[in-house]
Every structure is written in C-alpha cells, then in structure tokens.
Structure 1
Amino acid sequence: MTQFCGLDFGTSNSTLGRVDAEGHPQLVALENGQKTIPSVLFFGFEDDDVHFGREAVAEYVTGADGRLMRSLKSVLGTALYADTTRVKARRLGFGEIIGLFVGEMKRRAEAELGHELTQVVMGRPVHFVDDDEDADRQAQHQLEAAVRAQGFRDIQFQFEPIAAALDYERQAGSEKLALIVDLGGGTSDFSLVRVSPDRAGHPDRSQDILATAGVHIGGTDFDRLLAMSRVMPKLGLGSRTLDGKRHLPVAPYFDLSTWHRINRLYDAKAIRDLRSTMREAREAERVETFVMLVEERLGHRLIGAVEDAKIALSDRESLAFTFPVRDRAIETDMTVAQLGEALAASIERLEMTIGETLLQAGVVAGAVDSLILTGGSTLVPAVAGRLQALFPEAEVVRTDVLGSVGLGLALEAKRVFG
C-alpha cells in the first residue's frame, strides 16, 4: 500500500497520479470517473457549500448565487497572493483557497484508493514568475505551505516538463534528445532532455537535463488576448470620451479578460467607476452593455465562452461568437488568422524562450530528435504550426496533453519515496 502520489496542480486542470503494484503509473479518478478535474471552486451562497471542478462550473453556469474562483495558480508569487476574497461574511486568502482545492483532491483520491496519502511530488513550472528568483522561490513556498496544511507530510517538487519526459520515456525505444514543450494554462516550459529506456531507472537524472527555461505565458493568456482583440472592442475598448480627447481606461477591460482579476469588477466601487465611464463615453451603449454584464456577474461565463471559441478554432477556420447580456448580445467573428494575430507577440516570446533553451545546452534545432508536446495550448494552430516549423526534422510526439505531467510525477514519487 503506497502512501505516495504525484500531484499536478494546474492553472486550468489538475490530476493526481499513483503507481500500481506492477509499477505502472495511473491517474486517479477525481470527479465522476474523470481523471482530470478543472482547477475551479465555487462558493455557493445559497447552499453555503464549496463546489469543485465541473460541478463548480455547472453551479456558476446555471446562475447559482456565489463566487467562482479559477486560475488560482497564477497568483502564486505575485502581489495578488496577499489579497483576500469575500465569501459572504468571511474573507479568505489565496493560500486557504488553494489549500481547499488541493485538500479536496487528496480526500477524493484517498476515498478512491482506500488509504491515506502522506507523501507527494508536486509539479511546478520552471518559472512561477519570470525574471524574479525571489518571487519564484516565494511561489514554491506558498504552494508547499498550502499543500502541507492539507496533511501531506513529505513534499518534493519536480519541474512539470521533466515529469512529462518521464512519462514519454516509458515508450522510447532508444536514446533520443527530446525537447519537452509544456504549454499549460498559466506557464510555458521547455526542457531539453536525454531520454532512453536504459536511463529510466537511474536515481539521479540531473546530467540528462541539458537545459530548462520557461515563461509566464499560457492558455489563460491566450484567452485574454483573444478577448481583448475580438470581444472587448464590442464593450467600448479603444473608443473615446465624448470630447474625443482621450480613450476610455483600459484597466477594466484587462480585468474582465483575466480569469483571476474578474472578481475585482464586482466590487461596488468598480461598478460605480464603470457607470461614470459610461456617462463620459462617446459609445455609451457599448459601455452600458459592459456595466450590465458586470451587474449580472457574467464575467467568468464570458471568458469561458472565449476559451471555448479558442478551442473550437483548433479544428475549424472561423466561427460566429455570440454572448447574451440581458436583452442584448455581444457579437463578433473569430478566425484562426485573427487568433494567430492576437497571439503573435506571445508566440514570439515562446520562440525566444525555446532559443534560450537551445543556447543553454549548446544545441542546434536540427539536433533535436523528438518534439514532445504536452499541455492543452499546444493544440492552438498558430502555436503548433510555429513549433513544427522550428523543428522540421524532429519527430512530433503528442502526449496525453492533460495527463502526462501527473503520470510522470507519479513515477517520480515512486523513485523518491518508493
């Protein structure tokens, strides 16, 4: 009976893996037989209960009164971590909220497995926070404290792309030089790793990790950029005041497009400021729709619809986007080309970070044998196309985009604790 596991707490989705008696890693079903659980909580004001995962999303979408929390990983190491959020009469810190979610994952896994879990290898991005080592260390400490408070006694960390490499290595037939591309909900990480069946059981793999680099760009940033490009102009972004002397403030549109900032707009002062902006706006009707949307607390639902549109553009060229707000609708078109244009600067940053990874290792792109793609954002056409163009000779390996990190962390947990 193993008391260890690997836990991938993701920006958008989370998994928990363990190794079975035959040494095979498996993901534990955490929600109605599903092996992934969306990293979402909903504090219900009507039933005074906390809902998790798909159930949390369903509560919110059906219009239940409460507070939705998502993209919690994105606040680690940032100034936002010190903020609190009001849940009826209580104010909760982000560490407590993250702990609630991790604790629920632990409880569900223990119920599924029939025994306690006390040892865990947690996944972490290469950089929680870009270009700030102190903030990055602080982010790991914050996550460790939240996890330890839920009853895990022994906690280790492993880079998420390295975990993905461990999962891939089980099926590698020979030694390869692999670039692991892990594009998650909040971060993008790159690791150049030697993988082979012979190396898989070695306790120290540090010499096989030739280089790692990461950047704080991920799927939720893609959602924000698509929303800012195609949706927010329909709510007044880019328009001017009545006197034509200045543009409307950008900050509220940025907040509405950013998962973990949306709740800020629901404060009474924020709504008063929006109404003031509406009175000064040349295109007041568009801003009025913004005010209505905030009054109805539809922000997360709107960005969820944008995320759905982004995903839909993975296998179609265009779509018509419509989102109802009272007796009105936000309507725009979205195409693969427009998505690529919105993401162009971010894709350039991803490409620069890949270049840094190769430079660290002293390796040219042509020497890479395998391009291992994990994380849901690798499915975005503009991203996938650019990656393949950078490494035209490499074998492209698509892992379980949502589960490979959790499986690799389970293998790492067996090595560390088994």
Structure 2
Amino acid sequence: MDSSASALGLDFGTTNTVAALANGSGEAQLIEFAGEAATGAVFRSALCFWEDEGAWNGVAHEAGPWAIGEYLESPLDSRFVQSFKTVAASALFERALIFGKPFRFEDLGQRFLQRLVTHAGGQLDARPARVIVGRPVEYAGARPDPTLARRRYDAMLEGFGVELHYVYEPLGAAYSYAARLTEPATILVADFGGGTTDFSLVRVAEPGAARRCVPLASSGIGIAGDRFDQRIVDKLLLPLLGKGGTYRSFGKLLDIPGGYFADFADWSRLAMMRNRRTLEELRRLQKDATDPAPIGRMIALIENEQGFPLYDAVGQVKRALSGAEEAEFRFDGGGVAIAAPVTRAEFKEWIGDDLRRIEGAMDAALAKAGIEAAAIDRVFLTGGSSLIPAIRAIFERRFGGERIATGGELTSIAHGLALIGEQPDLAEWVA
C-alpha cells in the first residue's frame, strides 16, 4: 500500500468485494488485482478449500476468482463457499465443517482477506490510518443480530487497519455519486447487493462547501440478488429435483420433506450438503419415492459438487432477462442436463412479494427523513441487481426516469467509503 494512503474503503459484499484507497487529496483509487485470473477491481467473495498435508491444519485455501479456478480444476476434491457474509448476523451459524475442520465466520473472513491482500500485489501491504468498512443497514437472515455481526467483523478485520470504522454501504455510494454533482441536491441512494437492499438519503451541498454531504436517514431489508436467485431455483429447478413429490412410508403416501429443498436453494447451506448423512438420507428417500428420478438428479448434483456451475447458470439467466423478454435456462453437469425457457414476466411474478417489501423499505427511509418523493432531486441506483428491469421500474414509477442515475454498480461503495475516511469528523457517518 502507498505509504501516503490515509484511508482504505472496503466494500465486503455478499457476491463481490471491492477496495479503494484515498491519499488525502480528495480522490480515491480502486485496488486493481493482479494475475491471470484477476477481474479488475472486483474480487469475488468466495473461498475454495482442499486437503494439503503441507498447509496449516492440513487444509489449503484460495479466494476470489482464484477460488473459482481451483474449484473448477478439481470440484470433487474441494469445497467451494460463497455468500458467507449472509450468516454474519446469524446466531444459528456457529461454524462450518470443512474436511472435518471447524471454521467460524471470522475464520472464513480472515482467510478471505489474507488472499485478497496477497492478490493486491503489494498495494495493501501497509496499514492505512483508517479503514472504513461498509455494512448493510439491515443484515440478511431471519432475526439478524447486528451486535453479533459487529463482533464477528471486528475479529475478521483484526490487524487490518489502525482505526476501524463502519459506515452504511449506501452512504458510501452516496458520497461517491456526490462527487459527480455540480449543484446542491437531495439524493436517494438505493444499493442492491447480493444479500441486502439498502437505502440512504443525503443532502449534497455545492462543490467546495465545508460540509459537502449530510446524511439524513437510512433503511434496509435482507432481500436482494441472492433471494432473486433462490426464487428461480425454487420455481424452475426444485420441481425437477423432487419438490412437490411424494414417497411411501409404512403404507402411507407422504410429501417429500421440504428441508432438503430449502438447503439446496440457499448457497450458505448447499455447499454443506455433501456429507455422508445427508446423502444417505436422500438415497433412502429416492428408494421410496413415487418418482425416484428427480431425487436422483439432486443426489448427482450434490455428489458431483455442481452447486457453483448450477447457480452460475441461474445468474446467467437472471442477467439475460435484464436485456430480453425471454431467456433459456441451460445447465449440463454431473450427469444432469436441464433446459427450460423463462420469461421476464414469470420472473417478475416470482419476485413480486420481494419487490413490494423492498419498496416498503424505501418508504421507511423517506419517512425517517421526513421527505416526500417529489423533493428528491436525484436517485442513484447501484449494485448488480439494480439492472433488473422490475427494480428500475419501481423508481421510474415513483420518481420519473429523468431523475435516475447509474454507474459504477460494483465499485461506487468502496470508492465513497475511502473518501468518507478522509473526513476530519466521522461521527455523523459511522454506524
């Protein structure tokens, strides 16, 4: 890291992680990662583990796009974990067993950050004066515990910087967007991540003002891109894997238990389904199923570690529907081939309840600030899911297309967090 760096902005996201450095001059530079597998400034929030006698505790690991490469090279001999941020605030998650070794959330996070620093090629070797870490307004999961999440984040980031501060993620995006404005404005920022959707309202003064940005209110909800993926899995894939089917038990015809399908539809749990107990239960269920073929497909996908390519195919069809009225879901791996058409209208219906709850969270931010929609000068949409037409339609209906701005969907938060880190007084920014 440049010794002149005054602040590091770290956007540790559910799907992607981005870092930026500010040097005290009012500007911030994104960290570009080096190497053949690098994808610019975007570092996938993923880990891959494999057994290695020479590694610490007998388990080696890799992170980011390099984790994907390791997994694809040897899927049956590795364990791939992503979206682990979604369990940060969950008291139900204590540890994940990977090759028989327990890993707490902070253990996963520390290993992830170690590899991120390594792949930064020296840019993050020195510690900045301040580290500004983005956090969601509301954490993902049922009954999230923000105190628990803070404790886990602190442990994960121990030693990463001299001063550690937490700022709501949409405030980072707001500060970044404010640098593009040439006149005063009241702005609403909507950040659509992988695990959460967050809103912040900020009043922006004219360029050169002593206090350029003043945060007004924030709100959030644990619904975002991963939930939309789960809807596709639930409606399109799970019926092909046995959901809705029946099995025979002591002369009775019973519904196949839904717990297996809930786990399969959740990235944080799917990766852990490849264990002897679960597979033995599924094989017994397959034997007694009225139609054993769908359960057989689920077993094949789990046994052959096809979770990542399957969810990658889900993400591809979701992105395709952002630009077309119809797309085809295609997957072929682990002895399972699936092809099915999906329309944008179907997808919108599947996520309809989620969209209504997201809009409710936006209304909560407006109510907290005491501001009507008509008083918003600009709406800045950021995060990958902001590109979904049904998402954008909410804001066009409420604010009009002429007030909507986009850009830097994956990098604006880290950029703004680094700039916030240069402010002399962080009291009004920190969460």
Q: Same fold (TM over 0.5)?
A: yes
Q: Does 1:275 align with 2:283?
A: yes
Give 1:136 shift: 1.1
2:5 aligns to what SS in structure 1?
A: coil
The corresponding residue for 2:191 is: 182
Q: 1:156 to 1:336 in 2, by over 3 A?
A: same
Q: Does 1:332 align with 2:332?
A: no
2:10 aligns to what SS in structure 1?
A: strand
The corresponding residue for 2:85 is: 73
2:422 aligns to what SS in structure 1?
A: helix
Contact 1:191 1:212 in 2 (8 A): yes
Distance 1:232 1:158 in 2: 38
Q: 1 or 2, which has the higher helix percentage?
A: 1
State how 1:16-415 maps to structure 2 within 5 Å. 16-20=19-23, 22-32=25-35, 34-45=40-51, 49-64=60-75, 65-86=77-98, 88-109=99-120, 111-112=122-123, 115-117=126-128, 119-129=130-140, 135-148=145-158, 150-198=159-207, 201-202=210-211, 208-242=214-248, 245-392=253-400, 395-415=403-423
Q: How many residue pairs were aligned?
A: 412
Q: 1:116 to 1:293 in 2, by over 3 A?
A: same
Q: 1:97 to 1:315 in 2, by over 3 A?
A: same
Residues 285-330 of structure 1: per-residue CA shift (max 9 Å, x gap): 1111111111112123211211121112111222222222444412
Distance 1:45 1:74 in 2: 25
Distance 1:252 1:113 in 2: 41
Letter of the 2:15 partner, please give it. S
Give 1:118 shift: 5.6
1:79 aligns to what SS in structure 2?
A: coil
TM-score normalized with structure 2 length = 0.89
Give 1:73 shift: 0.8
Structure 2: gaps (5+ residues): 427-431
Contact 1:95 1:142 in 2 (8 A): yes
Contact 2:95 2:102 in 1 (8 A): no
Q: 1:417 to 1:89 in 2, by over 3 A?
A: farther
Structure 1: gaps (5+ residues): none
Give the RMSD, CA atoms, in angstroms: 2.4
Distance 2:142 2:339 in 1: 39
Distance 1:67 1:111 in 2: 28
Give 1:90 shift: 2.5
Give 1:262 shift: 0.8
TM-score normalized with structure 1 length = 0.91
Give 1:137 shift: 2.1
